[in-house]
Structure 1
C-alpha cells in the first residue's frame, strides 16, 4: 500500500465534511429544503469546490457507491482454489462491513429513507445498484467459466445486491430495532448468506460428487 499524501488526506477530510454537513442538513431541513450552497457553507467550502467533490446534491448520499463493487471484484480476483462464487461474495460483504460504515451507518439509513421519498434519489440508487450488479456478474463469469454462464452469474450478483438492499429496508423501517451497527452488520450478512445458500449447497454437492 502506498503512502497517502498530505493533499490526499486533506481531500478525504473535506469530502467527509461535505457528506457530514449534507446528512445533518437533510435530517434537519429536508432534502428539498437543502441547497448545494447550504451544504457548501456548512462544510466551510465554496460552491465551486463542492462540485469538485460531487457532481450533484443527490450524489452526496452515495459517497462510497463503489465500495461493495470494488470489494466483490477484489475478492473474486483473490479467491482461493476451494472458494466457489457464492462463498467469495459472502466473504466480500463481510470484509466491506468490517472496514466501512457505508452499508449500515447514518448516511445509509438516511439514504434508504430518502430513496422512498425522493424520485431522483431512488433513480440514482437503482442505477448504481444495476451498474454494480453488471460489473460483478461479468467478473464472476470470467472467473468461473466452467460453472457460470451469463444468466447464472447475473443471478448471483442480483442475489447479493438484492439481499443487502432488502435487509436494510427491513432493518431501517423497524422503529423498535436498536441502532447498533454491529447488529445491523450481522443481520445484513445473515440475509446474504440466506440468499446465496442455494448456490453454496450446489457447490458443496459438486465437490462431494467429485470426491466420490
Structure 2
C-alpha cells in the first residue's frame, strides 16, 4: 500500500525548501552574520511568523535537515555494510563521503560545505545534529557486537565517531585528518614508553 503526501505536508515542505534556499543564497552572498531572519523571510516571501513556525531552532537550522537522514544513514553504514567489513571500516567509508571529507561534491554543495565549515554557528549546529545520532549509532554498534548499548566502550566509540566531523573537518587536509582519527580508533592508542 502506498501513501501519498497530503496537500498540507507538501505545502509545508515547499515553504521549508523556499526558506532553506533563501537562507543559503543570502548566507553565501552576505555571510551568515550579515543576514537576519527578517531578510530570509522576505527573500522567501513568507511572514516572519511563518519562518519561526517552520524553523524554531534559529537561522542556523535553516540550511540543515532535522538530522533524521544523517542518523539513519549512519546506522545503515553499520547495519548494511558488506559481510566481513569491520564496523570502523564501514564508518570511515561513510564519513569519507560526507561534507568536509568528500572530494566529489558539486560546486553548489562545495560552497555550502565551505560556508558551514567557516561559520562557527553553523558548525556548532552541525555538531549538535551529529551528537543527536550518538545513541542510535551506539545501539547499532552494540547490536553488531553483542554488547549492551549502555556499555561504556560502545558509548565512547559512538561518541568518538560522531565527533569526527568537528575534530577533523577544519584540518588543512580534512580527509587525512579523518583517516588519522580512524587509524587511531582501529588500532587503539599506542603510547610511547616513558623515558627512563
Fold match by TM threshold 0.5: yes
Structure 2: tracts of 5 or more residues without a match: 189-196
Equivalent residue, structure 2, for 1:73:
75
Contact between 1:90 and 1:189, CA under 8 Å: does it hold in 2?
no
Equivalent residue, structure 1, for 2:59:
57
Q: Which of 73, 91, 94 pairs up with 2:93?
A: 91
Q: Would the alpha carbon gap of residues 4 and 201 (structure 1) be closer, same or farther in structure 2, given more than 3 Å must change? A: farther
Q: What is the TM-score normalised by the length of structure 1?
A: 0.63
Q: What is the TM-score normalised by the length of structure 2?
A: 0.66
Task: Please give the alpha-carbon distance, in whole angstroms, between the structure 2 residues aligned to 1:45 and 1:78.
Answer: 41
Q: Would the alpha carbon gap of residues 91 and 64 (structure 1) be closer, same or farther in structure 2, given more than 3 Å must change? A: farther
Contact between 1:61 and 1:111, CA under 8 Å: does it hold in 2?
no
**1:87 Cα offset (Å):** 1.8
SS in 1 for 2:170: helix
**1:49 Cα offset (Å):** 3.0
Task: Please give the alpha-carbon distance, in whole angstroms, between the structure 1 residues aligned to 2:105 and 2:50.
Answer: 25
Structure 1: tracts of 5 or more residues without a match: 172-186, 203-212
**1:54 Cα offset (Å):** 1.5
- Residues 72-92 of structure 1 show CA distances to partners (whole Å, capped at 9, x for unaligned) of 112222234412220221233
Task: Please give the alpha-carbon distance, in whole angstroms, between the structure 2 residues aligned to 1:9 and 1:96.
Answer: 28
Q: Would the alpha carbon gap of residues 86 and 147 (structure 1) be closer, same or farther in structure 2, given more than 3 Å must change? A: farther
Contact between 1:163 and 1:188, CA under 8 Å: does it hold in 2?
no
Contact between 2:171 and 2:177, CA under 8 Å: does it hold in 1?
no
Equivalent residue, structure 2, for 1:170:
171
- Is 2:182 the counterpart of 1:196? yes
Equivalent residue, structure 1, for 2:151:
150
Contact between 2:123 and 2:166, CA under 8 Å: does it hold in 1?
no
Contact between 1:72 and 1:89, CA under 8 Å: does it hold in 2?
yes
Q: Cα RMSD between the aligned structures? A: 3.8
- Is 2:145 the counterpart of 1:140? no
Count, aligned residues: 180
SS in 2 for 1:170: coil
Q: Would the alpha carbon gap of residues 192 and 12 (structure 1) be closer, same or farther in structure 2, given more than 3 Å must change? A: farther
Q: Would the alpha carbon gap of residues 31 and 194 (structure 1) be closer, same or farther in structure 2, given more than 3 Å must change? A: closer
Higher mean displacement: 60-69 or 36-45: 60-69
Q: Would the alpha carbon gap of residues 109 and 46 (structure 1) be closer, same or farther in structure 2, given more than 3 Å must change? A: same
